[in-house]
Amino acid sequence: MAAADAEAVRVERAATGWLFSLVGGALLAILGAFVVNAGFVLLYPTPTGTEGQALVTQGMIIAAAGLLVLLGSGAFYLMPDQRRKWAALVVALSVLGWAEAAAFSTGQGWNELVLAISIGPVLGLVGGILGMLRDEAAE
């Protein structure tokens, strides 16, 4: 009976981690799309320096990190034998996305938006950590 309970806890924790990572990756990808759009608004129709190029680059990094968090969260849910490796990737990409989003917000003078911008990466980070936790049934 105890092994069945431990398995149920592991499956529930993996499902919760997957859901957190999935939502966090989606929010991170959407934020990246908005940052890229803001960069293109500055670049076209008339380029106004390198500020728009920097925003496009930051936005592409944030969007790529978000899409890879989505991929990693799906992979660690679908491949339970490799769950920890994929969850570690989710954690690393969430930290990368968080760093880029923080650099974007402070570079634009939007220091008050750091908390709002951090919601997606924090959800990805929590989901990845839940995915990396050890199994009680294996011990």
Alpha-carbon gap, residue 8 to 129, rounded angstroms: 18
Q: For the segment 46-91, what is each residue's pLDDT rounded down to a tens digit?
A: 766 677 788 889 999 999 999 999 999 989 888 888 888 999 999 9
Structural domain boundaries in the chain: 29-132
Among residues 37, 30, 24, which one has the least CA distance to residue 95? 24
Hey, what are 7's tokens? 């398995």
Alpha-carbon gap, residue 45 to 34, rounded angstroms: 18
Task: Show the DSSP H helices in the chain as ranges.
Answer: 2-43, 51-78, 83-107, 114-117, 119-132
Residue 135 has pLDDT above 60, yes or no: no
Q: How far is CA 132 from CA 30, 67, 97, 109, 125, in A?
A: 25, 20, 19, 35, 11
Alpha-carbon gap, residue 76 to 128, rounded angstroms: 9
Report pTM.
0.83
Higher-confidence residue of 124 and 10: namely: 124
Q: Note the pLDDT of residue 138.
A: 46
Q: Report the interhelical angle of 119-132 vs 51-78 (nearest 10°).
A: 30
Hey, what are 15's tokens? 């499902």
Give the model's confidence band at 8: pLDDT under 50 very low, under 70 low, under 90 confident, else very high: low
Give the model's confidence band at 139: pLDDT under 50 very low, under 70 low, under 90 confident, else very high: very low
